[in-house]
Amino acid sequence: MPVCPTPEQIAAAREALVLLDPALAEAHARLPVFEWRLRTGGFEGLFRMIVEQQVSVQSAAAIWKRVVEGLDGELTPQRVLATPIEALRAMGLSIQKATYGHEIARAHVEGRIDFDHLERLSDAEAVAKLVAIKGVGRWTAETFLMFCEGRTDVFPGGDIA
């Protein structure tokens, strides 16, 4: 089960970074210690992450709500695979995101990814497993590991936001 770092651990890590790179001292002094935001993981977490990408926070929330309602709250790989792409599109997903939802579900059903045992893999191994799924890039994989799996030694570089 993923565990979030405490505010004290985050503060200590920030202080260690300042010692490594004094250029970070100003940012460290101005910005408060943040709380780690752990999100739902597993298939649901990765599917939601795909759904939420490249749209506003409000749009993402509205689309996700329609997906949850459209699937009757059954956010499982089996249910998503049993739902035609066109039905997912009617819930607000683009054809690409609906297809990626199917790809993630298929990878789980076929045993190419085991969300229940990702913690057994190193960060590099977990990223490799995730990016092997069509529609999951490195940024998504690292973000998933960080915020859904609670891993502190990964960081999603190259964010366009």
- What is the full DSSP assignment across the chain? ---PPPHHHHHHHHHHHHHH-GGGHHHHHHSPPPPP-----HHHHHHHHHHHTTS-HHHHHHHHHHHHHHTTT---HHHHHHS-HHHHHHTT--HHHHHHHHHHHHHHHTTS--GGGGGGS-HHHHHHHHHTSTT--HHHHHHHHHHTS--SS---TT---
pLDDT in tens, 106-155: 999 999 999 999 999 999 999 999 999 999 999 999 999 998 998 888 88
State the catalytic residues.
159
- pLDDT score recorded for residue 128: 97
Cα gap 144→38, rounded to integer Å: 10
User: Which domains can be identified in the chain, with CATH numbers?
Assistant: 1-36 (no CATH), 42-147 (1.10.340.30)
pTM score = 0.84
pLDDT in tens, 43-91: 999 999 999 999 999 999 999 999 999 999 999 999 999 999 999 999 9
